[in-house]
Structure 1
């Protein structure tokens, strides 16, 4: 199929895509995005993501999980339902799950419990994990060390070079978004992405969020979408001193390896 882009994190169940998702996917295909992994953030959106996969079979895959913001509602029946959802063939990872000590929308003990339970589920189902980590101050890393056989990607990495190295030391994949295109907030990320080995790099938009600031002109809606993934690819190539084609090649191979995609 040649060199294309694989989008590993798009929130296509978000209400902003409700009325024009078909057009969004057409634009993504025109932009040479040949596969999209739709992010599940709670039971409802994980189920919706699976439904979208059924409607666009072969082009979409999904994750299934409960975001730390929603950890308060995580109960025994939650994991039972999540296990059922994750049993769908289109589900390629457990998540988005992790710890968020920046917003603290859920108590930290609830976040830890929900995270550890989902890590155990991933282990049982032999699926990788789609991880959210914000300001956990090493706590998430400490938990992951108890699950050494799990494969995982740190979604939307925006941290320091030292934190990046800690993730890499655990063998984790690193997901880079349009944050790298932000000359104000993303400079440290731009300067540190060259630390990521070729076999650990992945790309995502996290749409509808994190519209790349390098876009000219930017859409009036300020909504991000998978078609704009090429701006992340361009920034990565520049920051790493590699060709765009090389970044496409390695991220495509890594996505296939991590998620077991047969494209």
Structure 2
């Protein structure tokens, strides 16, 4: 099986001691391509530099996460535009709204979100979206700016059924992480994930975050790695009542179509 991790933070400093080994373990586990997430201008630059080192395996996004929307100023949009013009950049984001932690004010988050959606429409690029505890505001702004944006994915979807159906109705793709493996808070995802059409689902680890809680044996480290994408796939396949091989083929094809990735030679 060939898998694509559509969202991981491979530039995170927890990977500094053994980044190459992390990638090698993932490749051995069937992960053939990786989309590296940008969350600030600086981290997007880092993701693009890393993507350039293995262009057949890596691609990157460029954007400002809602946590850092407070830093979004007049220089940010031109800086992002320059990054998005890189051949290694495949989407705008991670952008959206996060009213759970509120590291930036709602006004700052909404401004940064709108600016990035406008930029995606101007460049006709896909968007990699984040939403937590902000569904009504998030989808309202998205509806206003969706015209001109070719594709959008709700990254790390953890919402309720009504949110899922609203995103699907708008044509969004849905990204599922190891959250679904969490017996404390992921049970509802197992109940609704089968509602996602096979041509709209993608899988991701969000490493080093969201280590699947049901891994056996328990890893010594709490750091998540992209090699665990196969475990996410197996959990999602069981919940959807499809064979893992069928889901792997679907999610990989979806990721290549969404991000315009070429198959590694």
Fold match (TM-score > 0.5): yes
Instruction: Indicate the SS of the match to 1:62.
Output: strand
Partner of 1:135: 133
Where does residue 66 of structure 1 map in the other structure? 64
Per-residue CA distance 1:84-139 (angstroms, 9 max, x = gap): 11111011000000001111110111111100100011111111000000111411
Query: 2:195 matched to which residue of 1?
Result: 195
Q: Which residue of 1 aligns with 2:223?
A: 223
Q: Which residue of 1 aligns with 2:246?
A: 246
Q: Deviations over 1:44-95 (max 9, x none)?
A: 1000000101112211000000000100110111111111111110110000
- Give the 4+ runs in structure 1 shifted more than 3 A: none
Alpha carbons 1:50, 1:91 under 8 Å: kept: yes
Find the counterpart in structure 2 of residue 86 from structure 1.
Answer: 84
CA contact (8 A) 1:10 1:37 kept: yes
- Show the counterpart of 2:104: 106
Contact 1:214 1:231 in 2 (8 A): no
Q: Give the Cα separation in 1 of the matches to 2:145 and 2:66.
A: 19
2:53 to 52, 55, 58: 55
TM-score (norm 1): 0.97
- In 2, the alpha carbon distance for the partners of 1:58 and 1:126 equals 23
Which of 7-16 and 139-148 deviates more? Answer: 139-148
Who is 1:213 aligned against? 213
Farther off after superposition, 97-106 or 53-62: 53-62
Unaligned stretches of 5+ in structure 2?
none
Residue 148 and residue 78 in structure 1: after superposition, are their counterparts in 2 closer, same or farther (change >3 A)?
A: closer
* Residue 258 (structure 2) pairs with residue 258 (structure 1): yes
In 2, Cα distance between equivalents of 1:201 and 1:61: 19
- Post-superposition offset of 1:148: 3.1
TM-score by length of 2: 0.97
Structure 2 CA distance for aligned equivalents of residues 210 and 178 of structure 1: 6
| Structural RMSD (CA) | 0.9
Q: What runs of 5+ residues in structure 1 fail to find an aligned partner?
A: none
- Picking from 23, 41, 50, the partner of 1:43 is 41
1:171 and 2:171 equivalent?
yes
Contact 1:233/1:244 (8 A) holds in 2: yes
